[in-house]
Amino acid sequence: MIIVMKPSAKPADIQQVIARVEQFGLKVHISEGEAHTVIGVVGDTQSLDQRNFEVLDGVERTVRISQPFKVASREFREGDTVIDVNGVKIGGRGIVIMAGPCSVESRSQILEAAHIVKEAGAHILRGGAYKPRTSPYSFQGLGEEGLKLLAEAREATGLPIITEVMGASEVPLVCEYADILQIGARNMQNYRLLQAVGKVQKPVFLKRGMSSTIQDLLMSAEYILSGGNYNVILCERGIRTFETYTRNTFDINAIPALKQLSHLPVIGDPSHGTGKWDLIAPIAKACLAAGADGLMIEVHPRPEEAWSDGAQSLKPSRFERLMSELRALAEFLGRPMS
C-alpha cells in the first residue's frame, strides 16, 4: 500500500503517518516527488484498513498495490530508481557499462583488464573472486585474495567494482571490498542470501535465474527491498530453453517488461545470454534499443588463456570497437554514455 500526501502536507503530518504505520508493525519507504510525498508501507497490509490513514491530516489518498512484488512495483514508485555508486549513476537517462573478466586470475591479469576497460570507457569493473561452477573440479575463484586484487584495481583506475557473493556468511567480508554485491543466477532464489544482502546498504545486482520467470525475479528483488535495502539492480542474462546453439536464450522481452513492471534499473548481460563472443555485440545493441539502463560484458586481455568463460569474453580491440558503436547508438537514443 502507498499513502499519497497532499502537496500542502507539513513535516509533522508526514511524521504522524509514519508513526501510525509503525504502530501496526510495518516499515515505511519515503519517496519525495516534485508535488507529492509518497509513503510506501512495507509488509503484510492485506488486513490493514485504509481508513486508518485517510483520516489523518495531510493525507490525499491511499492506494493498494495489486502486484505481489510490492516495493519493486512501478505502482509503489512511479519514477525510476537511480542508484549512485561512487558517482556512477545506474538508472535514469544514462547508460552504464560494467566490464571485465569472468574471474580474477592474478594481479597482473586483473590490473591489465581494469586499465583496458577503463580506457575503452567502461564505468564499473566486474570480476569474480568466488565462482559458482557447474563442475566441482572447475576453478572456483581466489576468494579473499581475489577481493584484495579487485580493490587494488579500483585504486589504480578509479572504477567501482562489482563481484559475486555466494553465501550469507560471506556478505560481511565481500562488503568490505566490493561497491556492488552480485547475486548470481544460481542464487537468485537463495532466500537466506537475499535476506542477508537486504540488511546492508550496498547496491545489489540481482541476476535472473536460468529457469525463472520475470515475476520470480521481481519476487526475489522483493526479499532484498523488504529488508530495507532499496538499492537493487535487475539483470537479464538469458534463460534455459530447448535451444542448444547458444549458452542461454536471451529474453529481450524481459527488458521492456521489467521497465514497465518495476522502477528498478535493468541491465542486460549479453555475454552469459549468448555464450559466444561473436554474438555479444548485436545482443548488446538490442538491449539498449529495448530500454536497458546498461550492460555487463565480459572482457579478458587474452580470452584463449582465460580460466573461465573465455569463449564469451571479448578481446580488448573488440571491446573498444563495441564501445564506439554503443556510444553512437546511445546518442541516437538520447541517452548519455559518458
Residue among 181, 183, 129 nearest 152 (CA)? 129
- What is the amino acid identity at position 262? S
In CATH, the number for domain 2-63 is: 3.30.70.1140
The reported pTM is: 0.92
Res 139: pLDDT: 72
Res 180: pLDDT: 98
pLDDT in tens, the chain (338 residues): 889 999 999 999 999 999 999 999 888 888 877 677 889 888 888 888 888 899 999 999 998 888 889 999 999 888 899 999 999 999 989 999 999 999 999 999 999 999 999 999 999 999 999 977 677 767 778 899 999 999 999 999 999 999 999 999 999 999 999 999 999 999 999 999 999 999 999 999 999 999 999 999 999 999 999 999 999 999 999 999 999 999 999 999 999 999 999 999 999 999 999 999 999 999 999 999 999 999 999 999 999 999 988 999 999 999 999 999 999 999 999 999 97
Res 330: pLDDT: 97
Give the angle 104-105-109 at the CA atoms, nearest 5°: 90
Q: What is the 3-state secondary structure (H, E, C) of the chain?
A: CEEEECCCCCHHHHHHHHHHHHHCCCEEEEEECCCCEEEEEECCCCCCCCHHHHCCCCEEEEECCCCCCCCCECCCCCCCCCEEECCEEECCCCCEEEEECCECCCHHHHHHHHHHHHHHCCCEEECECCCCCCCCCCCCCCCHHHHHHHHHHHHHHCCCEEEECCCHHHHHHHHHHCCEEEECHHHCCCHHHHHHHHCCCCCEEEECCCCCCHHHHHHHHHHHHHCCCCCEEEEECCECCCCCCCCCECCCCHHHHHHHHECCCEEECHHHHHCCHHHHHHHHHHHHHHCCCEEEEEECCCHHHCCCCHHHCECHHHHHHHHHHHHHHHHHHCCCCC
CA dihedral 327, 300, 291, 86 (to 10 degrees): -80
Residue written as grid cell 499513502? 3
CATH superfamily of 83-333: Aldolase class I (3.20.20.70)
Res 137: pLDDT: 66
Res 336: pLDDT: 92
Give the angle 66-25-39 at the CA atoms, nearest 5°: 50
Domain boundaries along the sequence of the chain? 2-63, 83-333
